[in-house]
Amino acid sequence: MALKELTLKDWWFVMRREILSGLTLGLILGVIGFIRIAIWQQLHLYNYGIHWFLLAITIFLFADRGS
């Protein structure tokens, strides 16, 4: 904006791209977390307990909200 490359009209375009980028990255992190928990549980690398699937779903849904 300082260099006049973006105008106020471009705000929605930039915002949409940022939201889509954030959702995509969050989805990728969630999938990685879910797969990690599932694989580690099945290979007995770590015992997440009897509710490991619920934990994996929780990580999938809320992976990008941690910080």
Per-residue pLDDT tens over the stretch 11-50: 888 899 999 999 899 899 999 999 999 999 999 999 999 9
pLDDT of 2 > 80? The answer is no
Backbone region of residue 46 per phi and psi (left: phi > 0; alpha: psi in -120 to 50; beta: other values):
beta
pLDDT of 67 > 70? The answer is no
* pLDDT band for position 66 (cuts 50, 70, 90): low
pLDDT of 1 > 60? The answer is no
pLDDT of 7 > 90? The answer is no
Return the amino acid letter for 23. Answer: L
